[in-house]
Structure 1
């Protein structure tokens, strides 16, 4: 079983600590078996948390990191606090063995302190991206994305993006169907479009503004149809210009890109659970051309529908 070790240091942010423990701890394989074993590790038995309001007991010490398949670094209340040398050494040793290491929110500062992110693209909470770039100019800091996957090293933006990252890791490990089940358990979308740029500025809502949630559900339910921007705008009772503006403000993307992502999510499910030819899958999810479907699938997922099916079916 895949072991996930979550590192708790003094001043750990409780929600960042709980996110991977809860998400990975509740994830089940398609046969109902648990997908992960989770551990909490720390340099010592107890650590402070919640701005010093309480303490946590960590059952495992740093030596447990050596046996983990994935290590998760939660954010700290003071992300600029020096990281103990023993922690840095343990993380570097785990990385040398090929262990995957992921950070949540400002946990990127802990990972950056090891030097393992040097030469890599990374992200953190948008409030900390400038400081991370200043302290570690050798890291390509991207303030706009929800998470960055470099293969062995992964970083995520604010607390909610930690969930996005964990779902992404489940998808990498076990496929879209298991990831979708984990997302449903967490009551979240399997994959959010757009980046954290949509959260940096928080203008007051327009007086006549309304949530797009009903429209998003309608698009999800009707994405197999040959929908146009005009039809989507008509469903929303808006002009296409107004729809585009509100859609980007609330989702960070456009209506048509959202539509294509819905279609591709359904295609992933069909590729994993049916033997339908790719041409039939393309038609079922609303792509008029199998060629267009293949192009969009590869652009988003970095592989072909057939290769995806071979890797994830069953």
Structure 2
């Protein structure tokens, strides 16, 4: 390009707007607007999440009664729970038993119901009906099921009149109490996973399903070889979230059994509650909460590492 053409281009080019000094330009104002809109969420996260988490760390390392002198103990609270508190180890076992029963039942039943509803008329109505227990407060559901389980209750009446079975006292028998809690929990929580699986089924690519049918895939083969792999991200999400929820079980066991009979249904969260608000030792309670967090984090990390082998994402 000639020198004269460069000069002409420079003269006709629009002037470049200079950013005002002191950060007062349009972009600076937009940045402050963004900070203003984000500030409520940031303040809420700091006050109600980050600050309590930090305080829990501090409390777990101290003798921290609700009232009275506080002293630094280091990791003595953790040693007390793991070596000296028999209830804590029982609560760990019960929490894993509940999770081992609740997780597969919830996932398998919700998946089966989702496929059944997908082939029914009035699918939206069925989805709403199954989702209603999920939005019902847990306390309300637990109180209703406690009345169903009690002697001379609904279950006892129909088992006797229809099948001639003398039903046990479900909540007072150590052999049946955990199963009773699991049954109530599955009924209350199955609707959420059903909606997730229903959405995954509706999103299955019809072209792939039609190609599989042309190749002869039918029934169980089609489900295991085509549909389930396509739904693996939803299965992974449901499994992970259900595991995290089941490890934090508390309300239903507390309402139905108070952790009994004996210690047969006491859970890790209930152990934290009893240490903090009944024994009034917040340091031990905070240590139990951090141990629960460590267990959930470890299991979740294993799930995320293992999902690379069986979860198939569309790219």
Greater helix fraction, Structure 1 or Structure 2: 2
Larger Rg: 2
**Greater relative contact order: 1 or 2 (C-alpha under 8 angstroms, separation 6 or more)?**
2
Q: Same fold (TM over 0.5)?
A: no
Normalising by structure 1, report the TM-score. Answer: 0.23
Normalising by structure 2, report the TM-score. Answer: 0.23
